[in-house]
């Protein structure tokens, strides 16, 4: 039953007793209205069932269906107790303010159910940072901001500040389910233009360029396991249980510090090339289990002609920047299989993949192309526009934002 607020205006001819009675009636009616609102707000999810049982039933229904039925179900899909669906997260640069500095940046999440972009909560003041995106003295080079999705978190790790120095001494994490920003452990040498990838719950950083070129840094590899802190006993405080970076086997040379590189996590390994696009390149594969490096297979290297990502660390998808084609790597034949070709994919900046969808950040950053690679061929695609006045810089796939 819809409730409405009722206002009273007692007549001036009322005696004091009538005024007191009217006040009691007003108090009673306001209490009744508040009670009715509370009852409406706490309506059972499914009549006749406790809410915890109803949630188990509703969790088997598509969130897009629940969103369209009623408000209580719509609220349910954004609660911590409901299995989170996936969303696109992106860092956008304003096209309307000074473009070279970080005050023109905005972190956003695209909700595929409501089809709306929303801003991420601001980071705490003590996390303040200044990122340089480009500078007139470097006409042909952008200063990359490197981030990665790992263990359901967004990790921001490498960038350049306005003094041309590494902007971050260690990673900054955002957890979509808690809506909190936290700091990770300081890395031994802050850097930019490095190779960065994830395997399971670990982040790997290889090579890079610090405040100046250093051959040891250019060959170095470090690992940070995010799961260690979660496994720590409640009262345990021993240093070896804390989050920390570990030194891993070095690269054999420093060829991977020329630009920002995505190391693609695939079947317990990290695959990466040292140059983007069609240029001649070197490829390396790091075995996470054995802490060893090997050369990339010839077929994989030959077809790696643009940004790439792995679906659940099992299947690699890559975009040929020149031809605008999306390909899948067939490891049994060491070859690439073309899935589709579209002009919107030419010059693609970045690729992310999860749950049967491949998301591709377009060359101009004006939007994201989403391809359903799980559907029968030909693959279907659709386009997600960037927020008005912004274009994309980086992009990831993570669990949806929880309710504030």
- Per-residue pLDDT of 338-376, as tens digits, reads 999 999 999 999 999 999 999 999 999 999 999 999 998
pLDDT in tens, 120-132: 998 888 777 778 8
Fold of 86-399: Neuraminidase (2.120.10)
Higher pLDDT, 22 or 292: 292
Domain locations in the chain?
Answer: 19-76, 86-399
Residues 237/238/243/244 CA torsion (nearest 10 deg): 150
> What does the pLDDT look like over 60-74, one tens digit per residue?
999 999 999 999 999
Partners of 118 in beta bridges: 109
Whether omega for the bond prior to residue 378 falls within 30 degrees of 0, making it cis, is yes
Band of pLDDT at residue 235, cut at 50, 70 and 90:
very low
What's the whole-model pTM score?
0.83
In angstroms, the CA 185 to CA 387 distance is: 33
pLDDT(2) > 50: no
Strands 153-158 and 146-150: what pairing? antiparallel
Residue closest to 33 by CA, chosen among 59, 4, 9: 4
pLDDT value for 41: 55
Paired tokens of 401: 């934002």
Residues 6+ apart with CB under 8 A from 341: 323, 324, 325, 326
Query: What are the φ/ψ torsions at residue 102 (nearest 5 degrees)?
Result: -70, -10
For 106-124, what is the mean pLDDT?
93
Q: What is the pLDDT of residues 261-301, one digit of tens each?
A: 999 999 999 999 999 888 889 999 999 999 999 999 999 99
Mean pLDDT value across the chain: 85
CA distance 205 to 146: 11
Please name the residues in contact with 170: beta carbons below 8 A apart, sequence gap of 6 or more.
Answer: 183, 184, 185, 186, 187, 190
* In 103-259, beta strands by DSSP E: 105-111, 116-119, 146-150, 153-158, 172-175, 180-183, 195-199, 202-206, 221-225, 245-247
* Neighbouring residues of 369: CB distance < 8 A, sequence distance ≥ 6: 342, 344, 345, 359, 360, 362, 381, 382, 383, 384
3-state secondary structure of 228: helix
- Residue keyed to tokens 């405040």: 211
| For range 76-100, the mean pLDDT | 85
pLDDT at 141 (0 to 100): 67
Q: Can you read off the two tokens belonging to residue 37?
A: 């609102």
Q: What is the pLDDT of residue 38?
A: 44
Which residue has tokens 């490197």? 146
| Residue 132 DSSP code | B
Element (H, E) at 309: strand 308-311
pLDDT at 241 over 50: no
Q: Can you list the positions of beta strands (E) in 253-291?
A: 261-266, 269-273, 283-287
More confident residue, 177 or 100: 177
When computed from its CA atoms, the radius of gyration of the chain, rounded to whole angstroms, is: 26
pLDDT at 124: 85
Cβ atoms 372, 381 nearer than 8 A: yes
């Amino acid at each position: 039953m819809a409730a409405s607020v009722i206002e009273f205006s007692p007549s001036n001819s009322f005696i004091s007793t009538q005024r007191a009675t009217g006040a009691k009636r007003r108090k009673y009616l306001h209490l009744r209205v508040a009670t009715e609102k509370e009852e409406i707000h706490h309506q059972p999810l499914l009549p006749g069932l406790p809410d915890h049982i109803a949630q188990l039933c509703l969790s088997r229904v598509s969130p897009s269906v629940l969103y369209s039925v009623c408000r209580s179900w719509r609220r349910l899909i954004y609660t911590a107790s409901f299995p989170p669906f996936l969303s696109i997260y992106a860092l956008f640069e304003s096209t309307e303010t000074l473009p070279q500095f970080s005050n023109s940046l905005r972190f956003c999440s695209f909700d595929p159910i409501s089809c709306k972009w929303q801003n991420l909560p601001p980071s705490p003041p003590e996390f303040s940072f200044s990122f340089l995106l480009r500078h007139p003295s470097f006409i042909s080079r952008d200063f990359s901001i490197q981030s990665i999705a790992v263990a359901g978190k967004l990790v921001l790790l490498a960038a350049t500040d306005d003094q041309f120095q590494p902007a971050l001494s260690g990673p900054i994490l955002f957890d979509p389910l808690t809506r909190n920003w936290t700091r990770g452990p300081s890395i031994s040498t802050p850097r930019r233009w490095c190779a960065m990838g994830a395997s399971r719950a670990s982040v790997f950083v290889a090579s890079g360029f610090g405040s100046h070129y250093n051959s040891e840094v250019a060959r170095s590899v470090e690992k940070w396991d995010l799961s260690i802190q979660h496994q720590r006993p409640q009262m345990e405080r021993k240093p070896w249980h804390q989050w920390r970076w570990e030194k891993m086997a070095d690269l054999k040379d420093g060829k991977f510090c020329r630009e920002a590189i995505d190391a693609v996590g695939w079947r317990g390994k990290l695959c990466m090339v040292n140059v983007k696009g069609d240029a001649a390149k070197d490829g390396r594969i790091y075995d996470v289990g054995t802490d060893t490096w090997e050369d990339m297979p010839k077929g994989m290297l030959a077809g790696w002609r643009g940004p790439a990502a792995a679906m659940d660390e099992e299947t690699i998808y890559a975009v040929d920047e020149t031809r605008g084609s999306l390909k899948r790597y067939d490891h049994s034949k060491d070859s690439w299989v073309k899935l589709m070709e579209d002009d919107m994919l030419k010059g693609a900046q970045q690729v992310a993949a999860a749950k049967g969808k491949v998301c591709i950040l377009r060359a101009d950053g004006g939007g994201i192309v989403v391809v359903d690679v799980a559907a029968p061929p030909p693959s279907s695609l659709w386009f997600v526009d960037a927020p008005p006045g912004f274009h994309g810089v980086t992009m990831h796939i993570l669990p949806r934002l929880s309710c504030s």
